[in-house]
A and B are shown apart, each in its own frame.
Chain A
Amino acid sequence: MSAALALADDALVLSHRLGEWAGHAPVLEEEVALANIALDLLGQARSLYSLVGDEDELAYLREERAFRNVQLVEQPNGDFAHTFARQLYFSAYQLPLYRALAATDSDLAPLAAKAAKEVEYHLDHARTWTLRLGDGTEESHARMQRACTALWKFTGELFQPVEGLEADPAALEAEWLVDIREVLERATLTLPDGPRLGGWAAGAGRQGLHTEPFGRMLAEMQHLHRSHPGATW
């Protein structure tokens, strides 16, 4: 079931990136919040993998070209603004998607219904930081604008059709754009106007074509597991 695998990879990879923040957040409350979101996403990944096969085999023994996550989630954390621009774009995609899936009678429906509640919180948190940073100080505004613009080219891929996914990508994309336009405007930020798809560099994660930082991320994530073939932990 390729749709479950794609969504699982999204959740796993973003969870991993957020896990890198542990011990580095700007305030203690964000240590808690970032870990919380990372844990929710890891939980989603595990449930989705269980529909496909063995979670650890899928996470630890596939190579870069076999991962189906969108390129957006594998982007390095950058600064706090970069992390939250990524989170805003992704959560605003995940929420309507999970809501749509929850309303179907697919295998994903029960899981999507549970996950939608978590993502509602993630999106709320990402919106809050987008407002604070966008409409905070001159520096935070500049950083947030830079982050939103830098990640823009990875957002078109979110709405490419995925085999077996019972959701209308065009409708999701329309909803996403309205949502993002509204929050960026309130945050005094400019909606980026660059292309959201196209070119080699952006938009092929679902086909297993990833960006360069992803290989290093996987090397770190998989190293220990791969060093002890067949071991249980």
Chain B
Amino acid sequence: MTAVAGGTSAAEGAGSGEDAFLAAFDAAVAAEERIEPRDWMPDAYRATLVRQMAQHAHSEIIGMQPEANWITRAPSLRRKAILMAKVQDEAGHGLYLYSATETLGTGRDELLDKLHAGRQKYSSIFNYPTLTWADVGAIGWLVDGAAITNQVPLCRCSYGPYARAMIRICKEESFHQRQGFELLLALSEGTPEQHAMAQDAVDRWWWPSLMMFGPPDGESAHSAQSTAWKIKRFSNDELRQRFVDICVPQAEALGLTLPDPDLRWNEEKGGHDFGTVDWSEFQAVLKGNGPCNEERITQRRRAHEDGAWVRDAAAAYAAKQAAGSDEKAVAA
């Protein structure tokens, strides 16, 4: 976006000047141009992006926990390597997303403090426990699958740094999703015990995955504005429908069933009808009353607090090095 570049200072953004900036911003969004960090943008647009991107970054970081829970118990060395690589990728995604969020004028430390204080959220899905090895596969197939369905449209989001981060992240996520599917397939086609383990995991993760698309369209607080700003490209219900339609044939290929007696093909709409999500459960998890909310945030806080002396040491060492090179410069 170039039309409004340069008009970034708050002083310039007052009075009739602001109207001109807003008009140029709206025109750029309408023309599918990317908004870049130095461009003028409405305060509410900035705030919405910070909220959404920080939440996205936090989800990558908290999302490491349920999967890392199985690293030390992975049943083969190949699976262990795949899982370690995946958890490592998630930390990397968190780093991209914090960097992208920082372009909006905030800092990673500030964002982490808000996460630790419970003032910024992360995806509700990570408040569910991983009880068996098959859960690792169900997370890959369903949770990453839902994340990709949500995130692919974000690759065209109006804010440039977010869109570019999503392009990189979606490539890796697709890979994880296929690996999760393949893990479940190996279980499904394995011993009767392994098959049962896979089915149980899908039974537990199916509905929480559908909740990842957010509340129904009628009850989604941020949707209308986000759609107008081209941050959001499709409604929650549209994406949820798309996800269900993708998953049904995949479940058949896996030889597993989805735990929804109301799930059936609807010829007329060209999609599947499906049962009603338990929104009271969704609300409870969002409010902090899910199965693992307390554990997840406690572990995150503890890692941060236990690591404080390490970060202090790195800062002190860097300061000494900088002072040392100053002395050398003076001496020379």
Contacts and interface: CB of A to CB of B under 8 A. Distances in A.
Interface of A: 12, 16, 19-20, 22-32, 35-36, 38-39, 42-43, 45-46, 49, 55-56, 59-60, 79-80, 131-133, 135-137, 139-140, 143, 220-221, 223-225, 228, 230-233
A221 B91 CA distance: 23
Interface secondary structure of B, over-half rule: helix
B311 interface: yes
Nearest to A29: B95
Nearest to B191: A231
B310 to A, nearest CB: 4
18 contacts: A22-B87, A28-B61, A28-B98, A39-B85, A46-B77, A80-B307, A132-B314, A136-B316, A137-B309, A221-B72, A221-B73, A224-B133, A225-B75, A225-B76, A228-B75, A228-B191, A228-B194, A231-B193
B320 to A, nearest CB: 7
Nearest to A59: B77
A23 B299 contact: yes
A19 B302 CA distance: 18
A32 B95 contact: yes
Nearest to B87: A22
Contacts, number: 140
A49 B309 CA distance: 39
A219 to B, nearest CB: 10
Contacts of A143: 309
Interface of B: 61, 64-65, 68, 71-81, 84-85, 87-88, 91-92, 94-95, 98, 133, 183, 186-187, 190-191, 193-194, 299, 302-304, 306-318, 320
B92 A32 contact: yes
Nearest to B69: A23
A26 B307 contact: yes
Given A35-B88, A132-B314, 7 more contacts: A20-B72, A23-B68, A29-B95, A36-B88, A43-B81, A80-B307, A230-B191
A85 to B, nearest CB: 13
A43 B84 CA distance: 11
A40 to B, nearest CB: 10
A54 to B, nearest CB: 10
Contact of A223 (B61, B73, B81, B194): B73
B313 A133 contact: yes
A128 B304 CA distance: 21
A135 B310 contact: no
